A and B are shown apart, each in its own frame.
Chain A
Amino acid sequence: MIKNILEYLHSNTTPGEAGNLFWVVVYVLLVFAGVSFGVVFMNWFERKVMAHMQVRLGPMRVGPHGLLQPVADALKLIIKEDLMPANADKLVFWFAPVCVVMTAFCSFIVVPFGRTHAITDMNIGVLFMLGVSSLGVLGVIMAGWASNSHYPLMGSLRSGAQMVSYEIAMSMAVVSAVMMTSMATGTGTLSMIGIVQAQMQQHIWFGFSFFPVGLTAMGVFAIAMVAETNRAPFDLPEAESELVAGFMTEYSGFRWSLFFLAEYTSMMAVSSIATTLWLGGWLRPFPNLLGGANWDTAFSLIPGLTFLLLSALSFYSFTLMPKLRSMRGSTLGLGGFAALLGLLGAFMLLPAVRVRVQDIFWFTLKVAFFMYLYIWYRTTFPRYRFDQLMKIGWKVLLPISIGVVILTALIGVRQELFALVWR
């Protein structure tokens, strides 16, 4: 048993492929904890970034710079009374948030944080992620219908129509990336790890291959994924100026917080699809320009150094804190936070650790880029009208994505085509 557990540490596969039940459980717990922490962090970060973009301060009271605000919010939501409308369909009303959360977390089974840092590798990875994330919309529809109320029903109908129209453009963009995986070897793959390995073999991230084509596919996906996750400017299912809170109107307390959790989790899930398909997954930037063993070592130091830099910044603001009796708790908290970051950074600099950690660092950084874009969209764009949304989905994104698929196929077989023409 223990031998079996230790043996895995020397293998180069994911625990799912190795069939090691112990490490599968550990990885599932780690991914669950990590994603939940990411949601908590996103909650704070979104409010902070939006506030600074609108020249406000945002949460400042709970903890240093409002760092503990999400914890306070979560506590409030759990304590809050959980209401259920009298004429609601009890079973469906209960099951809707469960369904949404389950599907959102389920797609993280195949997300590759690194070659060995995924729960498992499936041969149908991308297909699985798309399928499971589209099941989540069923939960939204169930919530809207079971509430037995007008606004939620309108919200869920909108959500359904939106998902059906944007899913096609999204899948077409994915098809173009999957076609690119077959360029070097002749056989493509749908597996998430296989896709990143194909980018490693071809020495290019698919976002930049066939120059404008890959980038266009990524753009189409990046727009469609905002619509899929019901975020601004496509947040019509929960448009608060028209539908109160859309499909979540009748939900309160813990059930509402499940919807919140699922929304951010599925945002991260689709961001990690985009990262894996077009931004090279866990691969470090500039593998060609700055290649070689020395540069590999230099880049593997970056995660630890980043944490040390953050620690130094926190320590600097710790010294700037006013020396007041009432602020002593916050000051000490910030100092402790700086020390924690510093310890983490030093730990990540150890040679044995940094080899394993750098994959996770680069992957998370790229996902964080997309998550920042989500916040940026929300503060920048006004909400679309529903006919405008349909127009963008069917008349703009769909033709572009079909064109991208055709262009990818044509460029992929260009040598055979030239051979035919110049025979």
Chain B
Amino acid sequence: MTPVATPFFFYLLSGIALISAIVMITKVNPVHSALALIVTLLACAGLYLMLYAPFMAGVQIVLYAGGILVMFLFVMMLVNIEHLYIEKMLNSQWRVGLAATAMFALLMLGALVKGAGTLPQHIVNSPENSNVQQIGLLLYGRGSGYYMFPFEIASILLLVAVVGAVVMAKRRV
């Protein structure tokens, strides 16, 4: 049985991701943009699967399904869609934008040319059926939990944001 991770699927998924990303920034209607965004994110989940990171792919779907949902609600409640069609779509900062894009492209090119030696030629194939267990061990394992501290710091940061939102909303009630 040949592996699923063939170049065809890579080009297919990245093509879908790129096209829907372009659709997302060019659509006037924000709901269409949100829909295009979720297609991009699903294609990215497929790319994670090809990198033998099924847990990342699953978490990508679970988190962004909820995230996009909330974005939908924001769009429906806060954005005046009729108004958007009258407004000019691109603002006059295209020179700065172009410069920033060119700089970023140069940076990526430089990284690709200069740092080609540091890129792994072959994916380190952690056995697919223990990927989740490996992540668990890295996060919480006794003696191997190197990422315990950063993980907890990130959780506390999120908790602070949640508590802050509740406090700010509560004051007005």
Residue of A nearest to B72 (CB): A141
Does any Cβ of B come within 8 Å of A127's Cβ?
yes
Chain-B contact segment, one of A160-168, A250-258, A318-326: A160-168
The interface residues of chain B lying within 8 Å CB-to-CB of A285 are none
Measured CA separation A130–B60 after assembly (Å)? 12
> Is the pair B76, A135 in contact by a Cβ cutoff of 8 Å?
no
Residue of A nearest to B45 (CB): A131
> Is the pair A134, B65 in contact by a Cβ cutoff of 8 Å?
yes
Measured CA separation A138–B76 after assembly (Å)? 14
> Is the pair B73, A160 in contact by a Cβ cutoff of 8 Å?
yes
Does any Cβ of A come within 8 Å of B69's Cβ?
yes
Does any Cβ of A come within 8 Å of B89's Cβ?
no
The interface residues of chain A lying within 8 Å CB-to-CB of B131 are 123
**Given the known A-B contacts A127-B62, A134-B62, A138-B38, are A122 and B54 also in contact in the complex, defined by CB atoms under 8 Å?**
yes
Residue of A nearest to B76 (CB): A145
Interface secondary structure of A, over-half rule: helix
> Is the pair B54, A135 in contact by a Cβ cutoff of 8 Å?
no
> Is the pair B133, A187 in contact by a Cβ cutoff of 8 Å?
yes
List which B102-135 residues lie within 8 A (CB) of chain A.
128-133
Nearest Cβ distance between residue A107 and chain B, in whole angstroms? 11
The interface residues of chain B lying within 8 Å CB-to-CB of A137 are 65, 69
> Is the pair A160, B72 in contact by a Cβ cutoff of 8 Å?
yes
The interface residues of chain A lying within 8 Å CB-to-CB of B59 are 127
Size of chain B's interface in residues, with CB distance under 8 A?
Answer: 28
> Is the pair B69, A138 in contact by a Cβ cutoff of 8 Å?
yes
> Is the pair B1, A167 in contact by a Cβ cutoff of 8 Å?
no
List which B18-64 residues lie within 8 A (CB) of chain A.
29, 31-32, 35, 38, 54-55, 57-59, 61-62
> Is the pair A127, B58 in contact by a Cβ cutoff of 8 Å?
yes
Interface secondary structure of B, over-half rule: helix
Does any Cβ of B come within 8 Å of A41's Cβ?
no
The digit string for A260-278, where 1 denotes a CB below 8 A from any CB of B, is 0000000000000000000
List which A157-210 residues lie within 8 A (CB) of chain B.
157, 160-161, 163-164, 167, 187-191
Does any Cβ of A come within 8 Å of B70's Cβ?
yes
Does any Cβ of A come within 8 Å of B68's Cβ?
yes
Nearest Cβ distance between residue B30 and chain A, in whole angstroms? 11
Does any Cβ of A come within 8 Å of B97's Cβ?
no
Nearest Cβ distance between residue B163 and chain A, in whole angstroms? 15
The digit string for A128-143, where 1 denotes a CB below 8 A from any CB of B, is 1011101101100110
> Is the pair A138, B129 in contact by a Cβ cutoff of 8 Å?
no
**Given the known A-B contacts A124-B54, A131-B58, A132-B61, are A157 and B73 also in contact in the complex, defined by CB atoms under 8 Å?**
yes
Does any Cβ of B come within 8 Å of A217's Cβ?
no
> Is the pair A123, B54 in contact by a Cβ cutoff of 8 Å?
yes
Nearest Cβ distance between residue A129 and chain B, in whole angstroms? 10
Measured CA separation A53–B69 after assembly (Å)? 38
Nearest Cβ distance between residue A309 and chain B, in whole angstroms? 42
List which A340-355 residues lie within 8 A (CB) of chain B.
none
The digit string for B141-169, where 1 denotes a CB below 8 A from any CB of A, is 00000000000000000000000000000
Measured CA separation A153–B76 after assembly (Å)? 9
> Is the pair B70, A19 in contact by a Cβ cutoff of 8 Å?
no
**Given the known A-B contacts A122-B54, A124-B58, A127-B55, are A138 and B68 also in contact in the complex, defined by CB atoms under 8 Å?**
yes
Given contacts A134-B65, A138-B65, 16 further A-B contacts (CB under 8 A): A19-B1, A89-B29, A123-B54, A123-B130, A123-B132, A127-B62, A135-B65, A138-B68, A138-B69, A141-B69, A142-B35, A153-B76, A157-B76, A160-B69, A164-B66, A187-B133
The contact sample of 7 A-B pairs, CB cut-off 8 A, is A89-B31, A123-B129, A131-B61, A135-B61, A138-B38, A138-B69, A187-B133
